[in-house]
Amino acid sequence: MLSDWIPDYDATAVKRMKDAGAVLMGKTNMDEFAMGSTTESSIFGPTLNPRDFNRVPGGSSGGSAAAVAAGFCPIALGSDTGGSVRQPSAFCGVQGMKPSYGQISRYGIVAYASSLDQVGPITRNIADMAAVLGVLAGPDPNDTTCDAYERPSFSETASAGIKGKKIAVLTGYDAESMDSPLIEAIEKAVGYCRSAGAEIVEAKLPITMKHAVACYYMVALGDASSKLACFDGMRYGHHSDGRSLVEMYKRSRNQGFGKEVRKRILIGTCILTRGYYENYYVPATKVRQMIADEYAELFKGVDSLICPISPALPYKKGLVEEDPVRMYLGDAFSSIANLAGLPSISLNVGFTEEGLPTNVQLMGPRFGDAGLLALAHAIENKAGSPPIADIEKKGGCRE
């Protein structure tokens, strides 16, 4: 739909990076309209995972994560609606963050779901992450959902340490169904926190664990069908002629959108129609509030939460075709932060014997981004920041 489109204005996030002296090296590959977890739905073709060319880099911001992991650039940006920055960061073995909702302006982000979307930086270490957040975060008259609170210096606060902090570890989910190296990664991260002086407690979040994925897909797909309705080929984007207005719309949209996008728009439209709206969408928005409340309650007693980011190690190519539902369930942990508007970091704590990255998820209270970066920094001090992927050794990226 937008393959030939060149925007005539800069997103605020891009403008801020440029104003800070960043050099824009190029655009990276992604799942079409940010709908996907593998980058395989891109009309430009898939992206290889620099850590293992037979596996996907994750998605939807797979290209950005792969670029950083492969050493093409130290910083890449993506947008995270249900995990689209953090899950590819986990699959490619780099650091990814979704700041609090309202931290960074969404002006210029092609919307997928307005109440869930947030710009997210991807870097190889937390010091860079804090610096980038410092550049990107701040109010914007073009986005009223971007909060005007006075941000601290994220770079300064990142090295604050976690001595005396209370950190919860999520329990109560089915660890058996997860890839075991990811469970070990959690244990490793917890150990690092202890040795850095933090107190560890356990936390159960029953409502969230039970309902997050379903809630996310109701809310996101409803919003997506709404936000993608403007793509009718009349003012921009792919246009197909027709004998009537409706025929033009149908042809432009059927031809311009890929299969996954069409699927999600149809489901979302269905969810918003009378009969379904009251029974699916509205309850989902209420459950969403319950999830946010469950977390607000949690963060009254603790400073941060450690939990998985993905239940699985990087998928082999083609999983989407085989088992789409399993792919959707992969958002179980990552979508929570979007639903509740909370900051979340996908942090690399090591690699398996086969060289596959193992990341963990860190979550904090709304606008507790500084504290969350401090936690990530403290763990990274022990775990080390991930190395650049050795793509030359694997036969180069021209494979």
Partner 1 sequence: MKRRSVIGLEIHLQLKTKTKLFCSCSSDYIGATPNTNVCPVCLAVPGTLPILNDHAVELGVKIGLGLHCSISDNTRFHRKHYFYADLPKAYQITQYEHPIAVGGYVDIFADGKEKRVRVHHLHLEEDAGKLVHPTSDGRLTGASILSLTTTAGECRFLRSFRNPT
Q: By CB under 8 A, tell whether 249 contacts partner 1.
A: yes
Please tell me whether residue 226 binds partner 1 under the rule CB under 8 A.
yes
Q: How far is the CB of 230 from partner 1 (least distance, A)?
A: 4
Pick out residues in 8-47 that bind partner 1 (CB under 8 A): 8-9, 11
* The two three-digit tokens of residue 215, written as one number: 């809630």
Which is nearer to partner 1, 128 or 232 (by Cβ)? 232
Structure tokens at 112: 């997928």
Size of the site for partner 1 (CB under 8 A): 30
Q: For residue 195, state whether it binds partner 1 (rule: CB under 8 A).
A: no
Q: Please report, as residue ranges, which positions from 135 to 174 form the binding site for partner 1 (by CB under 8 A).
A: 141-145
CA distances for 243 relative to 1, 168, 238, 246, 315, angstroms = 20, 61, 17, 8, 44
- Supply φ then ψ for residue 234, to 5 degrees: -90, -35
Q: Where are the beta strands (DSSP E) in the chain?
A: 75-80, 95-98, 118-123, 166-171, 199-204, 304-307, 344-351, 357-363
285 sits near partner 1 (criterion: CB under 8 A): no
Q: How far is the CB of 150 from partner 1 (least distance, A)?
A: 22
Does position 245 bind partner 1 by CB under 8 A? yes
* 242 part of the interface to partner 1, by CB under 8 A: no
Footprint of partner 1 on 108-127 (CB under 8 A):
108-111, 114
CB nearer to partner 1: pick between 5 and 149? 5
Structure tokens at 58: 């994750």
CA–CA distance, 245 with 394 (Å, rounded to integer): 52
Percentages (nearest 5) of helix, strand, coil residues in the chain: 40, 15, 45
Structure tokens at 200: 């560890």
d(CA 286, CA 216): 12
Which of 159-167, 196-204, 225-233, 326-334 is the region at the interface with partner 1 (rule: CB under 8 A)? 225-233
Q: Is 178 an interacting residue with respect to partner 1 (CB under 8 A)?
A: no
Minimum CB distance to partner 1, residue 321 (Å) = 28
Distance in Å, CB of 222 to partner 1, minimum? 10
Asked if residues 218 and 284 have their Cβ atoms less than 8 Å apart, the reply is: yes
User: Which residue lies nearer to partner 1 by CB, 249 or 328?
Assistant: 249
Give the shortest CB-102-to-partner 1 separation in angstroms: 12
Q: In 3D, which of 343, 357, 320, 336 has the Cα closest to residue 88?
A: 357
Residues at the site binding partner 1, with contacts judged by CB under 8 A? 2, 5, 7-9, 11, 106-111, 114, 141-145, 226, 229-232, 234-236, 245-246, 249, 272
